[in-house]
Amino acid sequence: MCGITGYIGTDPTGRIVHEGLQNLEYRGYDSAGIALAGGGSLSVHKTGGEVGDLPVPSREDGTRGIGHTRWSTHGEPTRENAHPHTDCTGDVAVVHNGIIENYAALADELRADHVFHSDTDTEVVPHLIETHLADGVSLLTAVQRTTERLTGSYALAITAAGHDGIVVARSDSPLLLGHGDTGTFVASDATAFIEHTNRVTYLRNGDIAHLTETEWTVYNDGARVSRDIEALDWSADAAGKSGYDHYMLKEIHEQPRALRQAISGRISDLGTDVTLDMELSTETLQNVAELQIVACGTSYHAGLYAKELLETHADLPVTVHVASEYELRGGRSPKDTLVVAITQSGETADTLAALRSAAQKGAPTLALTNTLGSTVTREADDALFIRAGPEIGVAATKTFVSQVATAALLTMHIGRARNAISTSDAAALRDAIRDLPGAVQQVLDQAPEIASIAREYADSDAFFYVGRRAGRPVALESALKLKEISYDHAEGFSAGELKHGPLALVTDNTPVVAVLTEYAAPERTANNVKEVQSRGADVIGLASDAGTARHADVTITLPACGPLEPVVANVALQLFAYHIANEKGRPIDKPRNLAKSVTVE
């Protein structure tokens, strides 16, 4: 949530910071601002609108700058609440991601001597820095003293007139440095500066860094520390639109490549061996009595699919928990419970809190994520990467299919370790994984037909998605995609639950989307299709089998893909959601009230 960017160096600072904000706008687009410092002065430019409404500052405005694009938590999206926030003198500028939990107490303390102009929690930070600078200390020391007073999560970037460089600080909110030929960058996401450099340093909790035009120095708990420089394995082109109208559409079409990346080098061509480069021992996997998955949103739906795979093929009881509700309860032994955190960004606050809770009680932990260097990879006992590449669209697409494909690989790995998966089941799952990129491409080749179906139903009152077994998480995920980007009412249900209440909502203008694929109990779901058709609703069916497809009013034909065929259906329904939203003229890459990475609880 929210995006931070900054730069200090010899290139035109205002332009670079502005471009960084444009690259980060998917992280928040309620309001935006830039602060530039140099020559003993500070200039601040803010807007209550989007980054495009913010003028590009001229080169003369400063040699170092920070910027912010906001997803509102405290205060409405107005110019006054936009970052950067300044102190009473107008010499200190601060941008912030996260939430300062004790801001109210700090503000009450400061109000006797300081004037506040916003409704945000952030504004206490520049005023605290102001009080310390009045003692004659450096900006670095003032920030160090200030962070000692803060409770909550934060990524901070600060610059001040008359003080050297930029100071940044991190606690439970992502922040990284970029090392270019002409200067140093700071951002909440490497997307901000990837066209300038792929060399990055991930800051850790408690780190405070001082950036100047010639060097960067990191401190933790007052002591200077060393942090590595790593090379990202993706380019500026990977983070662009590549000629597509929207990031989401581009990323839908990138799924065959993302899946090939997820699979590459991990599965044998002939046998059923899986190589996952994991450190969790075979003994640990053999002794696990239960696997618990914690996740949010789309990752939660991937977890539900993983449960289906693991319980079917690895003979392992699995529970899936909404991370914000998770607590390791009951008489089970934590050491016999493997907790798997699924998170695209590796920074999802609720998922990290659940992971930490499990780890504190002694449970072994595994992260399934897309992001190297993220917090979850450092805090979990082990990490398994989905290798989807950068995903800019707020509505997740390629990360969902890559999470499920990686979960299928994990299922084979655990099944083999526990001697629970038969050779025939392992071979069938291997073939499905290997065939998945091609099957997805066949669906993408049907994009014009799917777009036509979407236009036909774009004016419906609501949409209901149904499925069984692995079809259920796909129904939930596909409904989520439609509501996220089209703002239409959409709900996903277990197909058998329709008659226990939801059927009351069905009319002749509420199409029902039915996952009739293999591995989704299609014949049983067909009975539920007849129930809604008898109430006048059209049924849009997704199936590979012509016999099953006959039950639907409109059919999207899928290639067969065994236990991963419902994933293929999901790709078709991503296109369905996209084209409905596009038909309505929605801002697909900037859905209202949403942001890509949810780093607050």
Q: What is the mean pLDDT of the chain?
A: 90
Please say whether the dihedral angle defined by the alpha carbons of residues 177, 149, 73 and 359, taken in this order, is positive or negative. Answer: positive
pLDDT of residue 28: 63
pLDDT of residue 351: 95
Question: Which of these ranges, 231-245, 350-364, 384-398, has the smallest mean pLDDT?
Answer: 231-245
The radius of gyration computed from the CA coordinates of the chain, to the nearest angstrom, equals 25
CB of 52 within 8 A of CB of 85?
no
Question: Which of these ranges, 25-29, 42-46, 97-101, has the smallest mean pLDDT?
Answer: 25-29
- Residue 507 CB-density burial (10 A; 0-12 exposed, 13-18 middle, 19+ buried): middle
Alpha helices in 134-194 (DSSP H): 139-147
pLDDT of residue 499: 80
DSSP assignment string, 431-461? HHHHHHHHHHHHHHTTHHHHHHHHHHHTT-S
Amino acid at 391: E
Look at the chain and count its residues. Answer: 601
Strand-pair partners of 220: 207, 223
Per-residue three-class SS string for 480-547: HHHHHHHCCCEEEEEHHHHHHCHHHHCCCCCCEEEECCCCCCHHHHHHHHHHHHCCCCCEEEEECCHH
Backbone dihedral region for residue 469 (phi beyond 0: left; psi -120 to 50: alpha; all else: beta) = left
Q: How far apart are the first and last CA of the chain?
A: 11
Please say whether the dihedral angle defined by the alpha carbons of residues 344, 345, 346 and 348, taken in this order, is positive or negative. Answer: negative
Residue 598 pLDDT exceeds 60: no
Please report, for residues 171, 395, 400, 495, the alpha-carbon distance to residue 470 in angstroms, rounded to integers and kept in the order given. 38, 21, 14, 12
What's the predicted TM-score (pTM) here? 0.82
Mean pLDDT calculated for residue range 577-597: 86
pLDDT of residue 237: 60
Percentage of the chain beyond pLDDT 90 is 67
Please report, for residues 6, 193, 333, the alpha-carbon distance to residue 20 in angstroms, rounded to integers and kept in the order given. 8, 6, 47
Question: Which of these ranges, 147-151, 265-269, 485-489, has the smallest mean pLDDT?
Answer: 265-269
Task: Find the catalytic residue in 307, 398, 590, 596.
Answer: 596
Would you call 68 helix, strand, or coil by DSSP?
strand
Report the alpha-carbon distance of residue 378 to residue 376 in Å, rounded: 5
Q: Write down the number of H helices and E strands in the chain.
A: 17, 25
pLDDT of residue 235: 63
Q: What are phi and psi of 252, to 5 degrees?
A: -60, -45
Question: Which of these ranges, 47-61, 85-99, 405-419, has the smallest mean pLDDT?
Answer: 47-61
Band of residue 536 on the pLDDT scale cut at 50, 70, 90: confident
Question: Which of these ranges, 18-32, 205-219, 480-494, has the smallest mean pLDDT?
Answer: 18-32
* Nearest Cα to Cα of residue 573 among 427, 502, 432, 473: 473
Question: Which of these ranges, 63-67, 206-210, 531-535, has the smallest mean pLDDT?
Answer: 531-535
pLDDT of residue 362: 92
pLDDT of residue 61: 61
- Residue 452 CB-density burial (10 A; 0-12 exposed, 13-18 middle, 19+ buried): exposed
pLDDT of residue 241: 75
DSSP assignment string, 359-398? HHTT--EEEEES-TT-HHHHHSSEEEE-------SSS--H
pLDDT of residue 439: 96
Q: What are phi and psi of 600, to 5 degrees?
A: -125, 150
pLDDT of residue 328: 73
Paired tokens of 212: 């100047």
DSSP assignment string, 200-239? EEE--TTEEEEE-SS-EEEEETTEEE----EE-S--TGGG
Amino acid at 333: S
Spatial CB neighbours of 118, under 8 Å, sequence gap ≥ 6: 75, 80, 81, 85
pLDDT of residue 239: 65
Please report, for residues 469, 495, 518, the alpha-carbon distance to residue 565 in angstroms, rounded to integers and kept in the order given. 12, 17, 6
Paired tokens of 368: 């399934």
* Nearest Cα to Cα of residue 198 among 217, 176, 215: 176
Strand-pair partners of 493: 466
DSSP assignment string, 270-323? SS--B-----S-HHHHHH-SEEEEEE-HHHHHHHHHHHHHHHHHS---EEEEEG
Residue 431 pLDDT exceeds 90: yes
Residue 238 pLDDT exceeds 70: no
CB of 106 within 8 A of CB of 145?
no
Q: In whole angstroms, what separates CA 64 from the centre of its chain?
A: 29
pLDDT of residue 516: 95
Helix, strand, coil content of the chain in percent (nearest 5): 40, 20, 40
pLDDT of residue 206: 94
Task: Find the catalytic residue in 2, 46, 481, 590.
Answer: 2
Sorted by where each starts, the structural domains of the chain and their CATH numbers stand as 3-238 (3.60.20.10), 241-441 (3.40.50.10490), 446-601 (3.40.50.10490)
The DSSP element (H or E) to which 574 belongs, if any, is helix 565-583
- Sheet containing 463-467: give its strands across: 490-494, 463-467, 512-515, 539-543, 554-557
Per-residue three-class SS string for 505-524: HCCCCCCEEEECCCCCCHHH
Paired tokens of 20: 């960084």
What dihedral angle (degrees, nearest 10) is formed by the CA atoms of 206, 212, 214, 218? -10
CB of 543 within 8 A of CB of 516?
yes
Residue 371 pLDDT exceeds 90: no
Q: Is 2 a catalytic residue?
A: yes
Mean pLDDT calculated for residue range 381-395: 91
* Nearest Cα to Cα of residue 479 among 464, 498, 468: 464
Q: What are phi and psi of 506, to 5 degrees?
A: -80, 130
| Half-sphere exposure for 595 (CA within 13 Å, toward CB) | 22
